[in-house]
């Protein structure tokens, strides 16, 4: 395609003049994989069409929210109806109460929930709440887990356990992250050492239970159990960041998956986003009543938002949650996701490409390794060139996976068996090029 006919390229060039990097969120820029980002003109079901009119099978789904696919009729109707009554009031509505009730019924570890507008806001507020509720300052997180871009959470591991993290972004003073400890995911001895050293000063431990921001890495069952035990023992709150996994890997989120492995398991605070808004700006954090009652206006921990609980977003979220509660929804979604992963793995095996796959519900990951990695350092040893060749090969064939090797993928209820077959056939072609 020449410059004169490539609308994606023309838009990208125009965008770069007025928006830093041409995008409003960095991973959209294709910096990791090279090439021109696809500008979306519209989307329906499992597909989007780019500015050149080319159709793509969409395995990103807005990075997770679109679990029903694009333009689901029931969701569309709910949103259209809501819009006629006004976009935003800055005063409470019945729909917020209803959404809170639905979320709490589905996630029994939470007694109360507060609605906000983004996962970043929810994660940041959860940390403030944990600090306010415990009267402690230190927080613990894991390398490769993303909890939004709040200052205290943009941290990479320091040089040793006794040192605190280093900011991963310019503009974050080191004083701001001096209370953030960063550990290796799935490393039990290191976790135990950190609690021995800092346990009594820890407000919380925050984790992505199935880490989707280092592709797809599960917390092992013993590791998760130890996190829970140590938090309880030392009086630190256990914060589950389910912005990605909530209503995505199972109706009860990742915590329901771990509760099957560890009897009685639950986190103290849960952070949610993505699917609960069905594609609209909506996120939430919640937990036990005694902790949540520390929030303003009841308690001393301040948190607020002009657009929080927005009437259109809550209509979209409620309609989405109504669909995913239907019997058999996750069984079907999980089975189709497994079929996709098994098919791509089978194609890789046929041409002897080292490959491993994993999935839970409608979230998946794949690696150019023989075995699944357990932490960020291992994920980062992926052969970039291989991944990029695979990514662009699939993109050329109309299959849109995440444009970076450290991102998970998502299936929706709108993906058909034919879409999956087309994807597997494309993967077969592309593996032959590797």
Ligand X SMILES: *Cc1c(COP(=O)(O)O)cnc(C)c1O
Decide whether 13 or 24 has the Cβ nearer to ligand X.
24
Q: According to the binding rule CB under 6 A, does residue 50 interact with ligand X?
A: no
Task: Report the residue from 46, 239, 244, 282 that binds ligand X according to the rule CB under 6 A.
Answer: 244
Q: What is the C-alpha separation between 137 and 145, in angstroms, rounded? A: 20
Residues 165, 173: contact at Cβ < 8 Å?
Answer: no
As measured in angstroms, the least distance from the Cβ of 121 to ligand X is: 7
Task: Pick the catalytic residue from 58, 241, 268, 419.
Answer: 241
φ and ψ at 32, to 5 degrees?
-70, -30
As measured in angstroms, the least distance from the Cβ of 140 to ligand X is: 16
Q: Dmax of the chain from CA atoms? A: 65
As measured in angstroms, the least distance from the Cβ of 211 to ligand X is: 8
Q: Which helix (H) or strand (E) holds 222?
A: helix 221-234
302 is catalytic: no
Site string (187-216) toward ligand X, x via CB under 6 A: ---------------------x---xx---
Total of residues contacting ligand X (CB under 6 A): 15
Q: According to the binding rule CB under 6 A, does residue 141 interact with ligand X?
A: no
47 is catalytic: no
Sequence-separated (6 or more) residues with CB below 8 Å from residue 4: none
Q: According to the binding rule CB under 6 A, does residue 273 interact with ligand X?
A: yes
Decide whether 275 or 427 has the Cβ nearer to ligand X.
275
CA neighbor of 216 nearest in space, from 420, 415, 409: 409
Pairing label, strands 356-360, 363-367: antiparallel
Task: Report the residue from 12, 39, 142, 146 that binds ligand X according to the rule CB under 6 A.
Answer: 146
Interface of this chain with ligand X, residues 91 to 130, rule: CB under 6 A: 118-120, 123
φ and ψ at 188, to 5 degrees?
-70, -50
146 is catalytic: yes
Residues 238, 273: contact at Cβ < 8 Å?
Answer: no
What size, in residues, is the chain? 434
φ and ψ at 363, to 5 degrees?
-120, 135
Please count the CA atoms within 13 angstroms of the CA of 430 that sit on its side-chain side: 22
Nearest residue to ligand X by CB is: 119
Q: According to the binding rule CB under 6 A, does residue 147 interact with ligand X?
A: yes
Q: According to the binding rule CB under 6 A, does residue 294 interact with ligand X?
A: no
Binding site for ligand X (CB under 6 A): 118-120, 123, 146-148, 208, 212-213, 241, 243-244, 273, 283
Residues labelled catalytic: 146, 241, 274
């Amino acid at each position: 395609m020449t410059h004169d006919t490539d609308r994606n390229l023309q838009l990208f060039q125009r965008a770069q003049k007025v928006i830093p990097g041409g995008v409003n969120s960095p991973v959209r820029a294709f910096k990791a994989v090279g090439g021109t980002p696809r500008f979306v003109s519209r989307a329906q079901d499992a597909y989007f069409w780019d500015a050149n009119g080319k159709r793509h099978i969409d395995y990103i789904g807005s990075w997770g929210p679109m679990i029903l696919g694009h333009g689901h009729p029931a969701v569309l109707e709910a949103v259209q109806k809501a819009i006629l009554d006004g976009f935003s009031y800055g005063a409470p509505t019945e729909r917020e109460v209803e959404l809170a009730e639905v979320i709490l019924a589905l996630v029994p570890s939470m007694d109360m929930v507060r609605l906000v507008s983004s996962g970043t806001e929810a994660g940041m507020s959860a940390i403030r709440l944990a600090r306010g509720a415990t009267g402690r300052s230190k927080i613990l997180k894991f390398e490769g887990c993303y909890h939004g871009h709040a200052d205290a959470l943009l941290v990479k591991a320091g040089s040793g356990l006794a040192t605190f993290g280093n900011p991963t972004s310019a503009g974050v003073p080191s004083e701001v992250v001096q209370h953030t400890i960063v550990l290796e995911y799935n490393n039990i001895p290191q976790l135990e050492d950190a609690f021995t050293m800092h346990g009594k000063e820890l407000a919380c431990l925050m984790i992505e239970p199935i880490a989707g921001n280092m592709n797809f890495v599960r917390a092992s069952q013993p590791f998760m159990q130890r996190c829970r035990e140590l938090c309880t023992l030392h009086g630190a709150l256990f914060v589950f960041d389910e912005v990605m996994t909530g209503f995505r890997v199972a109706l009860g989120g990742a915590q329901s998956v771990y509760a099957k492995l560890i009897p009685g398991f639950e986190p103290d605070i849960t952070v949610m986003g993505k699917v609960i808004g069905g594609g609209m700006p909506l996120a939430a954090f919640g937990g036990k009543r005694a902790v949540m009652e520390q929030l303003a206006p009841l308690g001393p921990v301040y948190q607020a938002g002009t657009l929080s609980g927005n009437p259109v977003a809550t209509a979209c979220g409620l309609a989405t949650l109504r669909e995913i509660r239907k019997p058999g929804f996750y069984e079907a979604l999980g089975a189709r996701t497994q079929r996709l992963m098994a098919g791509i793995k089978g194609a890789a095996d046929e041409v002897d490409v080292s490959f491993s796959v994993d999935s839970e519900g409608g979230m998946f990951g794949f690696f150019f390794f023989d075995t699944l990695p357990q932490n960020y350092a291992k994920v980062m040893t992926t052969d970039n060139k291989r991944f990029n060749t695979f990514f662009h090969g699939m993109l050329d064939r109309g299959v849109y996976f995440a444009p970076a090797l450290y991102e998970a993928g998502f299936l929706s209820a709108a993906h058909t068996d034919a879409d999956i077959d087309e994807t597997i056939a494309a993967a077969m072609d592309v593996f032959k090029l590797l």
